[in-house]
Chain A
Amino acid sequence: MAKAKITFEDIEQTVNVPAGTRVIEVSEKIGAGIIYGCREGDCGTCMMHVTEGWNNLTEPSVLEEKVLKENMAGRHDRLACQAQILGDCTVKPT
């Protein structure tokens, strides 16, 4: 299975994951500082900033785009409960 590396900048931790893993699945297990609310892409609590590898996450859905907009997301902000890891990337809490 294809692998990818995700780095959590706040705790300086990199994890090798199977491609397609959602960021939430990793960040919660290693205790990164991204915080979660509804876990289903509705509340915007888990907004994170992608510092590297923006294109290595799945495209945001229409729903995610809407929630990002409502929460005044910056250009490379994503919802950690929605974004799936496709290739190497680095993220941190907003």
Chain B
Amino acid sequence: MRGIAVSRSIDVSAHRQAVEFADGVYWIGALDPTLRSFDIILTTANGTTYNSYLVKGSDGVAVIDTVKENFSDEFFARLESEARYEDIKVIVLNHLEPDHSGALPELMRRAPQAQLYISQRATSMLKALLHGDENLPYTTVTTGDSVSLGDRTLQFLHTPFLHWPDTQCTYLEEEGILFSGDVFGCHYCDKRLFNDLVGDFRFSFDYYYAHIMRPFKKHVMDALKLIEPLKLSQIAPTHGPILRERPRRYVTHYRELSTSSLSQGIGSDEQSMIIFYMSSYGNTARMAEAIAEGAGDVDGVRVSLYDLEGGETDPFVDLIEEADALLFGSPTINGDAVKPVWDLLSSLAVVNLKGKLGAAFGSYGWSGEAVRMIEDRMRGLKMHIPRSGMRVKLIPTAEELEACHAFGLEIAEVLVGKSGSGGVIDFADLA
């Protein structure tokens, strides 16, 4: 039976057949319209789709990505409407997360002659996902590798960390179709399937980027260098609409989303230091001010002071992403840093803080654990803590405020490279 050709009145929920969207290229995915939360971290008001694709060549058929396991029936039905298992020569998994690899073991059981192509980084995940099927044969591929289907060629692009270490893209050269995995995807379920027919999914596209790709902006930029030179007639991601109308604008949009999200208020020759603090009796606040003054004495450092009591998490996260150094001040209450500090420090999974400078400070009554706990959290976020934090018992004296001033100055000097974190330190002196 032939696949369904695309028309304006398309409704892929009304049947279980393959949908041809380029010559010999079919969507064989599944709809999940009732899903309301994905991977814990995203809400999905419109559900999602698990897109899988089938490419026919003169010398065999390729299946690119599969679906979440409990959607296997729909996937296999669509596949069977267009191809026979014995004709499947190639299976490509661009990303091994279970929503794309769920039907893989069964597919390989039904098409044992097919060769599986994955990225090198995917191999350990493959084993961990397919316990009991550990002897599945596979070939690892990277940029420059390709596999022939006779009259058509699938090229592989090594695009790691979008959004797992294993991710890659596959490009059907002759048709200019990029099977992009989760890149350019979104959680938006619409039975009309194509970007020019579905509802307004711009919010879903940006929301998906913000939660899935944003921590990996640098890797997005690297991937775009491989993707931008390609001739692109369509982009076929693993979630959401197939981008067949003006696909390149989504590539451009990814580049926009991966560049600075704040307007350029800070000069490129300046380093931005943000000092966040909470204070119950004004002592930690006075420390914050002294540290800010000290840091401000160093040329090339723009210091900003924010009282967490008067802010909201989301704009602070944007600010933190752009900052070069982050200082957190918290009093110690009942042996812990205060909740607004933890709230902010636990909201940073969507940005990359690796290598930013960090420091902590705070006033305390009798034990002062908050500073060390904040430092540990910053280390966990892969930040660099060049100096041990500044702690003051209750009300800071003039000398202690002077020490805070010097502390701010020192951190700022590390930031501009005047005082390297360098030298030799002893392991025993590390906190």
Contact = CB atoms under 8 A, between A and B. Distances in A.
B427 A14 contact: no
B101 to A, nearest CB: 17
B121 interface: yes
Interface string A10-41: 11111111100100001011111101000000
A16 B120 CA distance: 36
A29 B120 contact: no
Contacts of A67: 124
B427 A35 contact: no
A13 B383 contact: no
Interface string A43-62: 11100000000000000000
Nearest to A44: B124
Main secondary structure of the interface of B (DSSP, over half): loop
Given A11-B384, A33-B355, A28 B379 contact: yes
A42 B124 contact: yes
Contacts of B430: 15, 26, 29-30
A14 B378 CA distance: 21
Size class of A's contact patch? 20 to 34
A21 B427 CA distance: 10
Given A12-B420, A35-B354, A30 B425 contact: yes
Given A11-B421, A31-B379, A31-B384, A26 B427 contact: yes
B120 A71 contact: yes
B157 interface: no
B422 A12 contact: yes
B398 interface: no
Contact of B421 (A12, A18, A42, A45): A12
A72 interface: yes
B121 A71 contact: yes
A59 B426 CA distance: 25
B382 interface: yes
A35 B124 contact: no
Given A21-B427, A72-B120, A31 B422 contact: no
A31 B358 contact: yes
A11 B425 CA distance: 13
B357 to A, nearest CB: 9
A16 B379 contact: no
A12 B384 CA distance: 12
Interface in B382-431: 382-386, 420-427, 430-431
Contacts of B384: 11, 30-33
B161 to A, nearest CB: 11
A16 B424 contact: yes
Given A14-B425, A15-B427, A29 B124 contact: no
A29 B383 CA distance: 10
B345 to A, nearest CB: 15
B115 interface: no
Given A71-B120, A72-B120, A31 B424 contact: no
Contacts of B431: 29
Contacts of B124: 42-44, 67, 70-71
Nearest to A67: B124
A47 to B, nearest CB: 11
A78 B124 CA distance: 17
A67 B355 CA distance: 25
Interface string B92-135: 00000000000000000000000000001101100000000000
Interface of B: 120-121, 123-124, 165, 354-355, 358, 378-379, 382-386, 420-427, 430-431
26 contacts: A5-B424, A13-B421, A14-B422, A14-B424, A14-B425, A15-B424, A15-B425, A15-B427, A16-B424, A16-B425, A16-B426, A29-B430, A30-B384, A30-B421, A30-B430, A31-B385, A32-B384, A33-B354, A33-B384, A42-B124, A43-B124, A44-B121, A44-B124, A45-B165, A70-B123, A71-B120
Interface of A: 5, 10-18, 21, 26, 28-33, 35, 42-45, 67, 70-72
